[in-house]
Amino acid sequence: VQADGTDGNCVTFVLHDEDHTLGNSLRYMVMKNPDVEFCGYCITHPSESKINFRIQTRGSLPAVEPFRKGLNDLMGVCQHVLNTFEVRLLPEELRGLF
């Protein structure tokens, strides 16, 4: 969902069935991008399971690019944590089941 009165550099994404777990982690990953001027999220209401995730970029970079990169980077971090867990903590016969 694009914010009213702006161009593609300032966009609010509505993420359904999500909460602070994804919101805060994704915000951290997106803010690591030096082209991002602002990134934040809010939970619209405690009884609703959706978040409004807003990104504003500098220059001509569309906001959807750091959003995609943030999601991909976060998936990579999660995969690394899972792999490390499997190698170090799980017995060999249970590895690969998760």
In one-letter notation, the amino acid at residue 75 is M
Reported as a single tens digit per residue, the pLDDT across 5-41 is 567 899 999 999 999 999 999 999 999 999 999 999 9
Residue 4 lies in a domain: no
Q: Quote the tokens at residue 24.
A: 């805060």
Residue 1 lies in a domain: no
Can you give the pLDDT at residue 84?
A: 87
Give 93's DSSP letter.
G
Can you give the pLDDT at residue 2?
A: 54
Residue 3 lies in a domain: no
CB atoms closer than 10 angstroms to residue 59: 7
Q: Which domain holds residue 51?
A: 10-94
Residue 50 lies in a domain: yes
Q: Quote the tokens at residue 56.
A: 């504003």
Residue 78 lies in a domain: yes
Q: If you average pLDDT over residues 36-58, what whole number do you get?
A: 93
Q: State yes or no: pLDDT of 96 exceeds 70.
A: no
Q: Quote the tokens at residue 19.
A: 């909460």
Residue 2 lies in a domain: no
The CATH number covering residue 82 comes to: 3.30.1360.10
Residue 63 · residue 28 · CB < 8 Å? no
Give 21's DSSP letter.
H
Can you give the pLDDT at residue 94?
A: 67
